[in-house]
Structure 1
């Protein structure tokens, strides 16, 4: 089977929803077939005619990842190989081993030093401060014995958010009561949780942050692309319409309305151009109900798993990397403005579980146009349709199951 075209071959690291998002975006733009590498096959990418998956269980070993990429590179002499990691783990491997990969691959990622600065939340919020980009009010707690007065004099009220600054070290730790992010009710709980985290071996900063209250209606996402000269050339904002209910998947989104948001786009450009960013960026954003200000929470150095909402809004995010790095063409500034509905679950699930206050907007966006990443007419064999039906059934069961456990 052939991959790519005469000019380039897309090599995707990961076999998840994001892998299909990227492969579909490239197929729509160039009619190309992609190659995906990962640990396990998944239903999201199974039986596809636009994407082939090569899986091996030891692909979690960075040495194996680089070895496989070296071998794959020999299959495609004379063509540019566009390397596209889909999750943070693979992104980190590519950043760490970039010197080995650069001679053979075109990589739409920031350099290693800037990546470290942005992935560390202490440095990320400091950078936002320096550039005048809105973000939640933050207090940094250094590692070591917990001060008995910690939390007694915060510049914002309880409850507060507590989370690790270092998202590379923290996920590797294991201890009772571990959470990705903590909503902390008072000073006593803040001190207890901080002490437990440090006792588990975490040795970097903790972030204490103002709690921005609200349901999906205050949650936004944004995806962008900055060209090889460090200039933002694509931006797309999205209003979250439905989040994941499974506690193990908290933070993932299953429905997004692509929207026009000039304030948010201006903040993104100030941030990205201010640091000389290159490549894809995916932002989590919240709107402060008190002021309406859009505040950046964090940045991921790759397209978001839900980034296909940008296609619903009228813009092909992934195409930017090909035009910029493969064909080296100048990119005009593109900002999506159409209000459409992106789905990762059946539409009736969205109507049933999305916040009531968003339903009118959801229905209006759906009438204008709705898309489901996995439902792609040129890739709709009988086996593929069965795979997608099973994915949708699994998501539906999860909402039925976990909705009962959520507080009302």
Structure 2
């Protein structure tokens, strides 16, 4: 398999769905194959003719990752190497070792200082407020002894959401009853859970937020690209149709409609340009039916694993990186607007488990066009088709087994 072309080779950190998303986007735009590096070979990229997978069991360690990238740099000494991390861990590794990577790799990523500001949720929501970007009402609880009346007079009603501001420290902690995010019913439980988190060794802020109720109909996503000058050049918004029910995979989406939403796009552009964002970004939002606003929940410093929905909407997010950073071509500001359906499970599963309020819209979007990231005509060997069938069956069974966990 020949990787890249005379101008660039894409090096992807990760071997899952996002790796295939990036590889397919590049193959459609430039006809090139990409290199994916990771711990294990996963079905999403296995037996592909457009992505070469190389694995090392200890590829989660910084030095192993960096040594592998040094070897790749030596292997491809002529074209530019464009580096795409696909998950938070790989993104953090790239940020930590940016000085070493920069001489050899093109990295569509912001700097460490801004990354730290956006990843700390206290700073993130403060920034949203300063820029006038809608976000959930928030109260910050600082570490230390908890006031016995804390939570009795919040500016929003219960239930509330409780989550750590620092997502570097918190994942490493182990304690009974640990959850990624807590839905809390009353003030006494809010104080009890907060005390347990601090007692486990967490020493940063906790975020208490208003709870935005609803099923997938209130969930939205967006993906964007901004130039090294800090100017947003591409934004694509999506309406979530089906999210993941399996508790181990909560937060992943399995069906999205690409949408046009000028107010949402303007809000995201104000945020991106306001902070001087650089590179690829993935946003989670929720629509607040009470105010009619889409409220920004968080930003990830990489393309979303489900960001191939932008192709259904008429854009190519990953192409922006190459056009800007490899070829130096000016990018017009682009917003996708075609309402089409992206799926990661069989279409009948989407119709069976999507909220009733979204089914008519989903059918209409599907009639305009539907895409499945892994179903790519130039990459449809027998082995690929078998892998895709196994994944579809697994995802379909997951929805059946965990349907009681669907959002309401």
TM bucket by the smaller chain? over 0.9
Distance 1:78 1:56 in 2: 25
Q: State how far apart, in whole Å, the 1-side matches of 2:404 and 2:151 are.
A: 34
> 1:275: which partner in 2?
275
Per-residue deviation, residues 142-161 of structure 1 (Å, max 9, x unmatched): 01122211101100000000
**Aligned-partner Cα distance in 2 for 1:168–1:32:** 35
Distance 1:407 1:366, change over 3 A: closer
**Is 1:72 matched with 2:72?**
yes
Higher mean C-alpha deviation, range 195-204 or range 333-342: 195-204
TM-score normalised by length of structure 1: 0.99
Is there any run of 5+ residues in structure 1 with no aligned partner, and where?
Answer: none
What secondary structure sits across from 1:64 in the alignment? helix
What is the correspondence of 1:324-363 to structure 2 with a 5 Å cutoff? 324-363=324-363
Instruction: Say yes or no: does 1:54 pair with 2:54.
Output: yes
The runs of at least 4 aligned residues of structure 1 exceeding 2 Å deviation read 404-408
SS at match of 2:402: helix
Contact 2:245 2:405 in 1 (8 A): no
Mapped to 2, the partners of 1:171 and 1:262 lie a distance apart of 36
Equivalent pair of 1:166/1:205 in contact (CA under 8 Å):
yes
1:403 matched to 2:398? The reply is no
Task: Give the corresponding residue for 1:236.
Answer: 236
Q: In the alignment, what sits opposite 1:378?
A: 378
8 Å Cα contact 1:228/1:324 also seen in 2? no
TM-score normalised by the chain length of structure 2: 0.99
Distance of aligned partners of 1:407 and 1:331 in 2 relative to their CA distance in 1, 3 Å threshold? closer
Q: CA deviation at 1:407?
A: 8.0
The 2-side partners of 1:47 and 1:101 are apart by 29
| Distance in 1 separating the partners of 2:114 and 2:406 | 39
Contact 2:138 2:209 survives alignment (8 Å)? yes
Secondary structure, aligned partner of 1:337: coil
Check whether the contact 2:215–2:407 (CA below 8 A) recurs between aligned residues: no
3-state SS of paired residue (1:299): strand
Question: Contact 2:216–2:407 at 8 Å: present in 1 too?
Answer: no
Q: 1:356 to 1:168 in 2, by over 3 A?
A: same
What does residue range 212-291 of structure 1 map to in structure 2 within 5 Å? 212-291=212-291
Once superposed, what is the RMSD of the aligned Cα atoms? 0.9
- Is the aligned partner of 1:114 residue 2:114? yes
CA distance in 1, matches of 2:316, 2:87: 19
- Measured after TM superposition, the shift of residue 174 of structure 1 is 1.4
| Matches of 2:347 and 2:406, distance apart in 1 | 21
Q: The residue matched to 2:213 in structure 1 has which SS?
A: coil
Deviation per residue, 1:368-391 (Å, 9 max, x gap): 000000000000000000000000
Q: What residue in structure 1 maps to residue 84 of structure 2?
A: 84
| Secondary structure at 1:282 match in 2 | strand
Instruction: Indicate the SS of the match to 1:36.
Output: strand
| Structure 2 runs not aligned, ≥5 long | none
Cα pair 1:340 1:369 within 8 Å, conserved? yes
What CA distance in whole angstroms lies between the structure 2 residues aligned with 1:226 and 1:404?
A: 40
- Mapping for residues 26-37 of structure 1, pairs under 5 Å: 26-37=26-37
The superposition leaves residues 97-138 of structure 1 with CA deviations (integer Å, 9 ceiling, x where unpaired) of 000111110000001100000011000001111111110000
How far apart, in 2, do the equivalents of 1:335 and 1:25 lie? 17
Structure 1 residue 311, shift from structure 2 partner:
0.3
* Residue 405 of structure 1: how far off its partner (Å): 5.3
2:313 matched to which residue of 1? 313
Match of 1:283, SS state, is: strand
Q: Secondary structure at the match of 2:124?
A: helix
Q: Which residue of structure 2 aligns with residue 13 of structure 1?
A: 13
- Relative distance call for 1:407 and 1:306 in structure 2 (3 A) is closer
User: Residues 341-400 of structure 1: CA distance to partner in whole angstroms, max 9, x if unpaired?
Assistant: 000000000000010010000000000000000000000000000000000010011111
| Residues 210-252 of structure 1, C-alpha deviations (whole Å, 9 max, x = no match) | 0011110010000000012110000000000000000011111
Q: Is the 8 A contact 2:227 2:233 kept in 1?
A: yes
